[in-house]
Structure 1
Amino acid sequence: MQGSGRRRSLAWVGVAAAAIVLMGCTTPRGPAPVEDRTPVSGSAGTPSASGLPTTDASGKPLPGIENLGKPGYYAVRPGDTVRRIAVDTGQHWRDIVRWNNLDNPDRIEVGQVLRVVPPVAGAPAAVPPAVAGAPATAVPPSGSASAPAATPPVASATPPATKPAGSSPAAGTDEDLGWIWPAQGALIAGFDDAKNKGLDIAGRAGDPVLAAADGRVVYAGAGLRGYGNLIILKHNNTFLTAYAHNQTLLVKEDQAVQKGQKIAEMGSSDADRVKLHFEIRRQGKPVDPSRYLPARP
C-alpha cells in the first residue's frame, strides 16, 4: 500500500510539473501589442474631446479640424458617408462637396470636419464676423474670439416650431408647402420618435408614389441601408421628404418635381412587405408627418 501511495504522489508531481511548463509557454513575454499603441501628443490618431482623431497617419491635422465644435460644422464619424451626412443635416450632398472643396466625395476621414450649412458672405451662420467680407468659401481662423457663441445655422433662420400640432402653417413661410399624401393606401404604422421615423403606408407593388410638395431631387438610389430604393426631395431650407422601399424610381438627382408628380412605384426593397415609408425632416430632424399632411376623408 505504501508503494502504491508513493506512485500516486509521483504521478501528481509529474502532472503539476507539466502544468507549470505549459503555463510558462502560454504566459505572455511582454505587454500585448495593443498596449503599445497609445498615441502621443501630435501623433496620428490623437483623439479630441469627442474621441475622434484630429490628425492623419502622418501627423498632419485633419481637414477642417480648426472648426471642430463650431455651429454649422460636423465631425465625420465611423461609417459616415457624404450622402448620409447630407440626409441627416438636410442638405444636398453635392452642396456639401462644394462647400468643403472635396476632390472625392467617397473619401472622407474619420475626424474630418465638414461644413454642413451654406456659407453666406456678410452673414455667415458658423463663421466669425471678422471674415464677413471674405469669399463665401473662406474658412474662419481657429479660435477667433469674435464668433458669437449662439449664432444659429442658416437653416434655422425659419419660424420656430411653436405652432400646435394640427394647426395650419402661416402663409408665405417655409412651412407653407400645401402638403399632400404621397400614397393612397392604408396607414399601417404611425410616427414613433424611437422606432419609426415616419409613416408606413400600405399598397400594391407598382402603386404610384407622389411628391408631397414641390421640390428638387437630392437623392435617388439604394445606397442608404434600411431604406431600399429611396428618393429624397428638398423643398426649401427647412424641409426634406423621404420615400423608401420603392420598386422603381422615376426621377433623377437634381430634377425639379411638382407636388403630385409620380416619382416612384411602390415596392418592398429592403422591407418585409410592399409599403411606402414616408418621412418629413425639418432642419434635418424627423418630425411627425401627420402634423403637416391634410386630414384624410
Structure 2
Amino acid sequence: MRLRAAAMIGVLAAGCASQHPSAPVTDRTARSGAPQPPPVAKVTAPTPRTLSDEHYEVKRGDTLYSIALEHGVDYRELAQWNALDDPTRIRVGQVLRVKPDESRGVQIGRANIGARVESRPLDAPAPVVKLPPKEPSKEPETVQNAEFMWPAKGKILAGFAEPRSKGIDIDGRPGDPIVAAAAGRVTYIGSGIPGLGKLVVIKHDNGFITVYAHNRDILVKEQQNVARGQKIAELGSSDADRPKLHFQIRKGSAAVDPLRYLPAL
C-alpha cells in the first residue's frame, strides 16, 4: 500500500510540472537593432583675426566714407589702395588697407628734361655743394596757433564724450550759416556716413580734419579749396532730432575735443 501511494504522488507531481512550464528570461537591455545616437562633435570657437594697424576689417554698418574718416584719410585714396572701382561695394568681413603700402616704394615723377646737365671727367672730384643752414625744428602745433574759429553761432547742446560723441553739438536755426573753421580742402560732401546727415569734411594743414554734420544744404564741392570763415553750408536737421551742427576736429584718425582748439566764448 505504501509503495502504491508513493507511486501515485510521483505521478501527480510530474503532471503539475508539465502544466506550468517556466517563462523564458529575456535581456531587455540589449537592443542590437536600435539606432545609436551620433557622437557629439566638438565645436571650437573661431580664432579672432589679428590685423596690423595698416588694415581694417569691414563691420556691419560701415561705409567706405566712414572708414576713411575714422582713419583720417581721403576716401579716394582708400579706394585706390584697395582697387575699388565702386566705393559703395564693400562687404562685411572684407579686409581693407587703410594706410599706403610703403613696400611698393616711392613713386617717381616725371624727370625735368630741360634741366642743365654738367659734363665732367669720370675721375674728376665731385663739386662741393653748399647746403643751406638747417632751420630749427618747429614745435608741434599747439592749441594757440591752430587758429580754428567757431563754425557756427549758438550755444553748446552737447559736449565731447568719446566714444559716444566725437564732437560737439551747436544749437542754431535752420539756414544759419556754417563756415569753415580753418583754411583747407574739401575732401568729402554727402550723406554716406549713417547718423551724420548731410556732411562736409575738410582737410587742413598739419594733419587736422574738421567735420560739419546735419546740414540743410551744402554750398561747396569736393576738392575745392576754402578759406577760413568761408560759408560752406547751411545749418539743418538732416538725420538729427533737431536743427544743430555736429562739429568735430580730428588729428589724423583721432577725434579730439574741439573746445581745446576753439577760442574761448
Instruction: Give the superposition deviation at 1:262.
Output: 0.2
1:159-185 Cα offsets, whole Å, 9 max, x none, are 779x6xxx52xxxxxxx4311110111
* 2:152 alignment counterpart: 183
CA–CA separation in structure 2 for the residues paired with 1:134 and 1:199: 39
CA–CA separation in structure 2 for the residues paired with 1:103 and 1:195: 32
**Residue type matched to 1:247 in 2?**
R
Instruction: Give the superposition deviation at 1:73.
Output: 1.9
Q: Given that residues 180 and 231 in structure 2 are in contact (C-alpha distance below 8 angstroms), is that contact kept between their aligned partners in structure 1?
A: yes
Within a 5 Å distance, the mapping from 1:73-222 to structure 2 comes to 73-119=55-101, 124=102, 131=103, 133=105, 167-168=143-144, 176-222=145-191
Q: Tell me which stretches of 4 or more aligned residues in structure 1 moved more than 4 Å.
A: 132-136, 158-161
**Which shifted more, 99-108 or 257-266?**
99-108
Bigger-Rg structure (1/2) = 2
* 1:280 alignment counterpart: 249
CA–CA separation in structure 1 for the residues paired with 2:155 and 2:195: 22
SS in 2 for 1:240: strand
Q: Given that residues 180 and 212 in structure 1 are in contact (C-alpha distance below 8 angstroms), is that contact kept between their aligned partners in structure 2?
A: yes
Instruction: Give the superposition deviation at 1:77.
Output: 2.2
* 1:249 alignment counterpart: 218
RMSD (Å) for aligned C-alpha atoms: 3.0
Higher relative contact order (CA 8 A, sep 6+): 2
CA–CA separation in structure 2 for the residues paired with 1:259 and 1:118: 29
CA–CA separation in structure 1 for the residues paired with 2:210 and 2:230: 14
Unaligned 5+ runs, structure 1: 1-29, 40-46, 51-67, 125-130, 137-157, 169-175
**Residue type matched to 1:193 in 2?**
E
1:14-53 Cα offsets, whole Å, 9 max, x none, are xxxxxxxxxxxxxxxx99xxx99x89xxxxxxx6523xxx
Unaligned 5+ runs, structure 2: 1-36, 109-137
* 2:48 alignment counterpart: 49
